[in-house]
Amino acid sequence: MTDMRTAAIAANRFGFGARPGDLRAIAGDPRGWIKAQFAPQASMPAPIAALPPGEDDLLAFGRWIAARRLRRGNAEGIERQAERQGVSDEELRMLSTEEDFIATFRSRAVTAIGARIEAAITSSAPARERAVHFWSNHFTVSAAKPAAIALPPSFEREAIRPHVAGNFTDMLAASTQHPGMLIYLDNWLSVGPNSVAVQRRARRAHGQGQLTGINENLAREILELHTLGVGGGYGQADVQSLAAILTGWTYDRPRLIDYVREARGERSGASLFEFDAPAHEPGAHMLLGRVYLEGGVAQGERALADLAQHPSTARFIATKLTRHYIADDPPPTAVARVAAAYARSDGDLRATMDAVVDCDEAWADPFAKFKRPEEYAISALRAANIQTLPVGAGAAAIGAMGQRVYAAPGPDGWSDRAESWLSADLVYKRIEFAQTYGERTARADIDARQIGEDALGPLFSADTRQAVQRAESPAQALTLLFASPEFQRR
Amino acid sequence: MKPMQLSRRLLLAAGGAALSFPALSWAQAGGAKKLVLVVLRGGLDGLAALAPIGDPDYTRVRGRLAQADALALNGMFALHPRLPKFNALYQAGELLPVHACATPYRERSHFDAQNVLESGAAQPFGRDSGWLNAALGTLSTSAGRERGLALSAQAPLVLRGPNAVATWSPSALPAPASDTIARVMDLYERSDPALATALHGAIAANSLVDGADGAGARGPRAVSALARVAATFLRQTDGPTAAVVEMSGWDTHANQGLEQGPLARNLGALDDGLDTLKTELGPAWRDTLVVIITEFGRTAAPNGAGGTDHGTAAAAFLAGGVVAGGRVLSDWPGLSAGALLERRDLRPTTDLRAVLKGALADHLRVSSAALGRDVFPDSAALAPIQGLLRA
């Protein structure tokens, strides 16, 4: 009995909820079940592996923008580019009339969201999938910013997913070098005021409208949201230094000719991270009391590695992890324990995760956390053993409950505190979801009592069992199960 | 009966602390002043909504988008022909248009500009809470009373912050059967006070707006439905002080049209929405201030596609029984090539924050210290504009 209770906590709190049969399999060793999922080698979930790479997303987005610009008033610039790059008028016209770019682009966004949900509902390593969602939210790249609209899925796959059982230093570097982040937080617009590029431009007469300065956005958020955290011991001078160190960190922007080559079926020239040496601010910079000598891209890589190992980072990461896995206001003992594991292992996320699992506080209150809409929907889908979804259905339902997948409102990502999700309107919409989903799922051979038992085990309360038992229809029984307090919490 | 349900909802939404609060005090709490903030997302073309027909460069600069049949307010400005209700309010002294105003943001990203518009900070992502939440937080308030209402599932940034706000939005999904809701509530009341509180709030809100026809309307018409719902909440004696309604579709890059077209349709819907609000508020209109703002204006000249691109200064509107209207507030910068910002945008001559500060000071009695520090951070040096409201 105790083991089934622990298994239910493991499945709901660390995974994405139990599918039929999961609890029995987990009950033998719930902590071991979680830890085993963080083995270094893991295969990519099939729906994710089937998505196009970030290079393609960049091309698709750039092509879409180019096509839009061609249809608007300011086409002269693009026509000049075409001439310089050897793109014929006819090819340019093709680009401007191919309306299906937009359809293609929209449908790939829908496909990517569907893949994320499908990976989570079908996964046999749901704790690892949850970690992907956690870190993807820690390093938020959001489609709410139009310029980044195409990139959150490939960012998550390429910068986050490979490192969830690896080292935080590598994840931080991969995040900071991915076009998704470089675009989302504007670093591609940042150039050193004393850089070769700016000096060269200043000598030319028509330098107007060109980039001439540092954009601090990425540097600030790295310090505030990705590593040290607010109050982590950095100041404005550190933000400026890190911003200077990161000048020249950009991506290989596709040119017009790349879109045309892609349309011709030739391989494109797009790639991802690029260090643009001429845009880099030269010189040594002082960051958090340490001097980083000039060294091109290595200067920034050294700075990020040191930030990852900073004691404030250990504390900040430990706080966020324990807030996600234990309680909105995590117990200080748990934070200290996880921070120590992070520091001892030099940021090894497997060892850090093990420490979270080994906190007794994580197993005390099974309902300390209120599920966010996405995890709530995923757990409901897993409970009924749903394997595939109609195109766009998951995104629509989760969006209606207040969480647009891959489109968090700001760089701090989705809130991990219950009060953000307990508004009257959002709670009501969850009940609407529970009813709609319950009605669609109800079939003669589906028994809500069994689904509740399989998903919640001993956490299935007597009150809810009785309510489900007394429901007037199978659909209402499922609605009551999915709307119940124990199903909405973890 | 229904007003009682709302009090219960507002009481319950406050959580445990409010439950022991004597219900009697609700009748005495707060003033009757109401504020409705309408956020136009996408960038309203201020030169189309409020055309400077008296500017010597107007016809030349606007070209195919120059208005011939606008509703003249004076020798200088004219409202778009699809704003007849705005015009009627102006003639009654209850509309105060403001022109050539902008937030401190000087670039052209919707995402960043809306962030500045709503947070009240001087730069994008300067903070993660909004100026209206901060302003409402300065009001003396009974414990836990929700002063703000968002007509959306989650509060928009302008209403987010430390002070609890109510939410309501139309739904795409069918409403649960009342029997199901009763059973769910029974479960929540047995074991989960937080969920029970939220559900009580939702039930009370829904009972109030049940009669609101077309509450789920989509597109521009939704604004009238939302205005009706907002009025339903606001006219309760213990209802919220402020409501926020959002309206999108103002990003008119192509074929925006003159008397017809997408911009005219949107303006017509906004016109109807304001009129609906006035009608539905009834006597409460006398104590109401409506503020209509957008994140930025658009280019002065049309682009090659018959639309306008992201610009800088825009128009804003104050309306309501409290407004000292019937005049246009503008330090008009002109439309000549030299007058335009970067030779393309209407140049901002009024800081939108100064307008909002003046309105909040006069309407809700927010102190100037709070306005300069908590509501609009680091804006102490920016004086509120005086005399926006009737003395």
Per-domain residue ranges of chain B: 8-375
- Please indicate whether residue B13 or residue A220 has the higher confidence score (pLDDT): A220
Helical residues (DSSP H) of B105-163, grouped into ranges: 110-119, 131-137
Quote the pLDDT of residue B29.
Answer: 35
**Residue B317: beta bridge partners?**
B97, B292
In single-letter form, the type of residue at position A419 comes to E
Quote the pLDDT of residue B111.
Answer: 82
Helical residues (DSSP H) of A123-162, grouped into ranges: 126-138, 152-155
| Same domain as A280, residue A389 | no
Quote the pLDDT of residue A272.
Answer: 82
CB B229 within 8 A of CB B168: yes
Classified as helix, coil or strand, A489 is strand
In single-letter form, the type of residue at position A215 comes to N
| Same domain as A254, residue A145 | yes
Q: Is the pLDDT at B24 greater than 60, yes or no?
A: no
Instruction: Give me chain A's average pLDDT, please.
Output: 90
Q: Is the pLDDT at A43 greater than 90, yes or no?
A: no
Q: Classify residue A382: in a domain, yes or no.
A: yes
In single-letter form, the type of residue at position A268 comes to S
| Same domain as A178, residue A75 | yes
Rounded to two decimals, what is the model's pTM? 0.81
- Please indicate whether residue B203 or residue B184 has the higher confidence score (pLDDT): B184
Q: Is the pLDDT at A304 greater than 80, yes or no?
A: yes
Closest approach of A75 to chain B, Cα-based (Å): 9
Domain boundary among A254, A277, A308: A308
Q: Classify residue A461: in a domain, yes or no.
A: yes
| Same domain as A252, residue A108 | yes
Q: How much is the average pLDDT of A195-212? A: 70
Q: How far apart are CA A381 and CA A19, in angstroms?
A: 9
Quote the pLDDT of residue A258.
Answer: 75
| Same domain as A265, residue A414 | no
Q: Is the pLDDT at B125 greater than 90, yes or no?
A: no
**Residue A273: beta bridge partners?**
A251
Residue B114: name the closest of A145, A357, A92, A12 by CA. A145
| Same domain as A403, residue A255 | no
Q: Is the pLDDT at A100 greater than 80, yes or no?
A: no
| Same domain as A229, residue A92 | yes
CB B320 within 8 A of CB B96: no
Domain boundary among A308, A337, A353: A308
Residue B262: phi and psi, rounded to 5, are -65, -40
User: Which chain A residues are closer than 8 Å to B169 by Cβ?
Assistant: 425
Domain boundary among A291, A308, A325: A308
User: Which chain B residues are closer than 8 Å to A73 by Cβ?
Assistant: 302-305, 307, 309
User: Which chain B residues are closer than 8 Å to A75 by Cβ?
Assistant: 304
| Same domain as A429, residue A290 | no
Residue A138: name the closest of A324, A9, A278 by CA. A324
Question: Which DSSP symbol is given to B97?
Answer: E
Quote the pLDDT of residue A97.
Answer: 54
User: Which chain B residues are closer than 8 Å to A469 by Cβ?
Assistant: none
Q: Is the pLDDT at A138 greater than 70, yes or no?
A: yes
List, in order, residues 6 or more apart from B137 with CB less than 8 Å away.
Answer: B161, B162, B163, B374
Q: How much is the average pLDDT of A441-456? A: 92
Tell whether B206 is within 8 A of chain A (Cβ). yes
CB A348 within 8 A of CB A310: no
Quote the pLDDT of residue B144.
Answer: 52
**pLDDT confidence of A24, banded at 50, 70, 90?**
very high
| Same domain as A390, residue A284 | no
| Same domain as A397, residue A295 | no
Q: Is the pLDDT at B287 greater than 70, yes or no?
A: yes
Q: How far apart are CA B147 and CA B145, in angstroms?
A: 6
Quote the pLDDT of residue A67.
Answer: 72
Q: Classify residue A5: in a domain, yes or no.
A: no
pLDDT (tens digit per residue) in B186-233: 999 999 999 999 999 888 888 777 655 445 556 677 888 899 889 989
Q: Classify residue A33: in a domain, yes or no.
A: no
Q: Is B185 exposed, middle or buried (0-12, 13-18, 19+ CB in 10 A)?
A: middle
**pLDDT confidence of A205, banded at 50, 70, 90?**
low
Quote the pLDDT of residue A52.
Answer: 84
| Same domain as A378, residue A230 | no
**Residue A292: beta bridge partners?**
A285
Q: Classify residue A328: in a domain, yes or no.
A: no
**pLDDT confidence of A446, banded at 50, 70, 90?**
confident
Domain housing A196: 38-308
Q: How far apart are CA A315 and CA A319, in angstroms?
A: 6
Count of domains observed in chain A: 2
Q: Is A204 exposed, middle or buried (0-12, 13-18, 19+ CB in 10 A)?
A: exposed
Q: Is the pLDDT at A451 greater than 60, yes or no?
A: yes
Tell whether A417 is within 8 A of chain B (Cβ). no
Q: How far apart are CA A138 and CA A316, in angstroms?
A: 11
Class of the B8-375 domain? Answer: alpha beta
CB B238 within 8 A of CB B208: no
- Angle in degrees, 0-180, between the axes of helices A256-264 and A89-97, rounded to the nearest 10: 80
Q: How far apart are CA A114 and CA A405, in angstroms?
A: 10
Classified as helix, coil or strand, B176 is coil
Quote the pLDDT of residue B309.
Answer: 87
In single-letter form, the type of residue at position B181 comes to I
CB A374 within 8 A of CB A16: no
DSSP E strands in B169-281: the ranges are 242-248
Q: Is the pLDDT at B177 greater than 50, yes or no?
A: yes
The two three-digit tokens of residue A173, written as one number: 């570097």
Select the residue from B149, B178, B187, B226 to test the A interface by mutation, using most A Cβ atoms within 10 A. B187
| Same domain as A238, residue A121 | yes
Q: Is the pLDDT at B26 greater than 70, yes or no?
A: no
- Angle in degrees, 0-180, between the axes of helices A393-400 and A373-383, rounded to the nearest 10: 130
List Cα–Cα distances, B171 to A129, B152, B249, in angstroms: 30, 10, 20
List Cα–Cα distances, B345 to A421, B30, B101, B113, in angstroms: 40, 42, 12, 15
